[in-house]
Amino acid sequence: MSTIEETIPPPRIRSIGSWAALIDGEDSAEFLDFRERMLRALDPSGAQETALAEIVVAGRWRLGRIPVLEARLLTAPNATVADLSQLSLYELRLTRVVSQERAVLSQLQAARRARPVVHFLQR
């Protein structure tokens, strides 16, 4: 029985800040553009919301790799059903993490937005 590591050679990895890592074939400018657009859409405020948003962004980027990895597996001569199953499990776990972190981010944002804004009157 093969493993994904035997089926797909390990890629070279490049770190992008503290938020993500890129593999061979991924463009850092494309990732940074994706990150910027996602952070703008997620609209985090403060350190805690930003940290959660970064997890969501990195997770969504990683989920985007799944179709490429699946195609590599499907065309690899020594791939097995177990390899595809392992990739599917990875996708499910990653989807769960992204969904959970997004939910926590939404809760924090809702609580922040519900707090009354106190305006001080100038005399």
For the chain, which residues make up each domain, given as ranges? 13-114
Q: For residues 40 and 34, give the distance between their C-alpha atoms in angstroms, rounded to a whole number.
A: 10
pLDDT of the chain along its 123 residues, tens only? 556 566 655 566 666 666 677 877 888 899 999 999 999 999 999 999 999 999 999 999 999 999 999 998 999 988 999 999 999 999 999 999 999 999 999 999 999 999 887 777 766
Contacts 24+ apart (CB under 8 A), 17-26: 19/54, 19/57, 19/58, 20/57, 20/58, 20/61, 23/65
pLDDT digits (tens, 9 = 90+) for 25-57: 888 899 999 999 999 999 999 999 999 999 999
Tokens coding 25: 């074939």
